[in-house]
C-alpha cells in the first residue's frame, strides 16, 4: 500500500486478500537470519463476481485516515468497484458502457497521481472517471490508431495529465496520441515510468524483453532487459524507491534485477545485476516497500496435465511432477543489511 502498512493480492478464486505488515518489521533497520515470522493470514477478503483483471490502491492511502483506505478492482462482467479497505464494503461503482449502451468491464484501472481521476482501459477506448462522481459519467478517449483491448495504463510522474496506455495489439500510446510505440513482440501487459518521468518500461505476455523507451526520443528503443516470460500472464516489475534498480519476476520462479543507474553500459541489452530463486512456480508479482528494504513476491499459474501420452505410468509421474511445482503464495524478502554481513 502507499503507506506501507498492508499488501493486496489477487487470486484465481475471484478474491482480493489484504495482509497487514507484521509489527516486527516497522522501523526495522537490520535483519537477523535467526528471526522467523509466523505465516501471515488475510485480515480482509473481498469477493468479486468474476475473474479479477486489475486492482489499484488509492495513491494517498494512509491507515491513520480511514477515508483514504480504499482500492479499485475490475473484473469480468462487472463495472469498476471502489472498496473500503477497513470494512470490505463497496463504496462506489463506475460503470463503463460500450457503443450499443451495454455495460462493459474494464481490462485495467489506474488512479491518477493526484487521486482525482480513474483511468480505465476498454476495447479501442479509455474512459476517465472523476473519483468523487461514481456512475456512468466519464470522459471517453477513442484510441484511434491503437486498436484492441487497453491492458495497462501508467501516468507520467513528471508531466501532469500525460499517461501511457498499452494494448494487447502490442502497441503503446502516450497521452492524447502524442506518439505510438511499436516493439513488444506480444500484447503489452505492464507499464512503469522511471521516477523522473524520462523513461518508460514496458513488458508483454510471452515476451522475454522489458523494453526501455526514452520519451525524448520515442521512436527508438533505448535498451532491453532479458527475463523469462513464456505464459500469457501479467508478469509485474517494480522500481526501488531510490530509482536505482528495476526488479521483475520470471516464469521459472526467479527474481531478476537490473541496475538502472549504470551509465557505462551502452549496449542495447542491459546486463542482469542480480537474480535469485524465490519460488518453485511462476513469479507473477513483485512489489518493493517504499520505506523499508522489503520485497514482496507472489507466485502461481494455471497448470494443465499432459493427456496426450498413452502410457499410464508416464502420465502418473508427469502429474506428480506437476503437483510438486505448484506454488501459490506470497513471500516477503529482506533486501537490506543483515547482522551476518555487516
Q: Give the C-alpha separation, 251 to 295, whole Å.
A: 18
Task: Report how far residue 325's alpha carbon sits from residue 288's, in angstroms, rounded to the nearest whole number.
Answer: 25
Range of the domain at 55: 6-341
Distance CA 333, CA 166 (A): 30
* pLDDT values of the chain reduced to their tens digit, one per residue, 342 residues: 999 999 999 999 999 999 999 988 888 888 887 788 889 999 999 999 999 999 999 999 999 999 999 999 999 999 999 999 999 999 999 999 988 888 999 999 999 999 999 999 999 999 999 999 999 999 999 887 777 899 999 999 998 889 999 998 877 776 656 677 776 778 899 999 999 999 999 999 999 999 999 988 887 899 999 999 999 999 999 999 999 999 999 999 999 999 999 877 778 899 999 999 999 999 999 999 999 999 999 999 987 766 555 555 555 445 555 555 788 999 999 998 887 655
Assigned domain for 332 exists: yes
291 assigned to some structural domain: yes
Torsion of CA 58, 72, 100, 232, to 10 degrees: 110
pTM: 0.90
β pairing state of 44-47 and 221-226 = unpaired
Residue 39 neighbours by CB under 8 Å, 6+ apart? none
**How many other C-beta atoms are found inside a 10 Å radius of the C-beta of residue 111?**
22
204 in a domain, yes or no? yes
Q: Number of folded domains in the chain?
A: 1
Asked if residue 160 belongs to a domain, the reply is yes
Strand-pairing partners, residue 74, are: 54
The cell for 258 is 537490473
Task: Indicate the burial class of 80 (C-beta count within 10 angstroms; 0-12, 13-18, 19 or more).
Answer: buried
Strand arrangement of the beta sheet that strand 90-94 belongs to:
52-57, 70-75, 80-84, 90-94
C-alpha to C-alpha distance for 341 and 166, rounded to whole angstroms: 42
* Structural domain contains residue 224: yes
Determine, yes or no, domain membership for 1.
no
Residue 139 lies in a domain: yes
Give the domain CATH number at 178: 2.130.10.10
- 91 lies in some domain: yes
Amino acid at each position: 500500500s502507499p503507506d506501507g502498512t498492508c499488501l493486496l493480492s489477487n487470486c484465481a478464486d475471484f478474491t482480493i486478500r489484504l495482509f497487514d505488515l507484521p509489527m516486527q518489521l516497522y522501523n526495522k533497520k537490520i535483519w537477523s537470519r535467526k528471526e522467523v515470522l509466523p505465516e501471515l493470514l488475510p485480515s480482509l477478503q473481498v469477493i468479486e463476481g468474476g475473474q479479477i483483471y486489475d486492482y489499484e490502491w488509492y495513491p494517498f492511502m494512509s491507515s491513520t485516515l480511514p477515508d483514504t483506505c480504499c482500492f479499485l478492482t475490475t473484473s469480468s462482467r462487472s463495472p469498476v468497484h471502489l472498496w473500503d479497505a477497513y470494512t470490505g464494503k463497496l463504496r462506489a461503482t463506475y460503470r463503463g458502457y460500450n457503443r450499443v449502451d451495454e455495460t462493459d468491464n474494464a481490462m485495467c484501472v489506474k488512479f491518477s497521481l493526484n487521486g482525482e481521476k480513474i483511468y480505465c482501459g476498454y476495447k479501442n477506448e479509455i474512459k476517465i472517471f472523476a473519483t468523487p462522481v461514481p456512475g456512468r459519467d466519464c470522459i471517453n478517449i477513442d484510441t484511434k490508431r491503437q486498436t484492441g483491448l487497453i491492458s495497462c495504463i501508467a501516468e507520467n510522474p513528471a508531466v501532469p495529465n500525460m499517461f501511457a496506455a498499452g494494448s494487447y495489439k502490442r502497441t503503446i500510446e502516450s497521452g492524447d496520441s502524442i506518439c505510438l510505440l511499436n516493439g513488444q513482440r506480444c500484447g503489452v501487459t505492464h507499464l512503469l515510468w522511471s521516477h523522473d518521468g524520462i523513461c518508460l518500461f514496458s513488458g508483454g505476455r510471452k515476451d522475454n524483453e522489458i523494453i526501455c523507451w526514452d520519451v525524448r526520443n520515442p521512436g527508438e528503443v533505448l535498451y532491453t532487459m532479458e527475463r523469462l516470460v513464456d505464459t500469457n500472464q501479467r508478469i509485474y516489475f517494480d522500481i526501488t524507491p531510490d530509482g536505482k534498480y528495476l526488479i521483475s519476476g520470471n516464469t521459472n520462479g526467479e527474481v531478476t534485477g537490473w541496475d538502472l543507474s549504470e551509465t557505462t553500459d551502452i549496449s542495447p541489452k542491459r546486463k542482469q545485476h542480480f537474480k535469485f530463486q524465490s519460488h518453485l512456480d511462476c513469479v507473477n508479482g513483485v512489489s518493493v516497500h517504499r520505506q523499508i528494504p522489503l520485497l514482496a513476491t507472489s507466485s502461481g499459474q494455471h497448470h494443465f496435465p499432459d493427456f496426450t501420452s498413452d502410457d499410464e505410468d508416464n502420465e502418473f509421474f508427469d502429474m506428480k511432477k506437476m503437483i510438486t511445482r505448484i506454488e501459490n503464495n506470497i513471500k516477503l524478502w529482506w533486501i537490506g543489511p543483515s547482522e551476518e554481513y555487516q
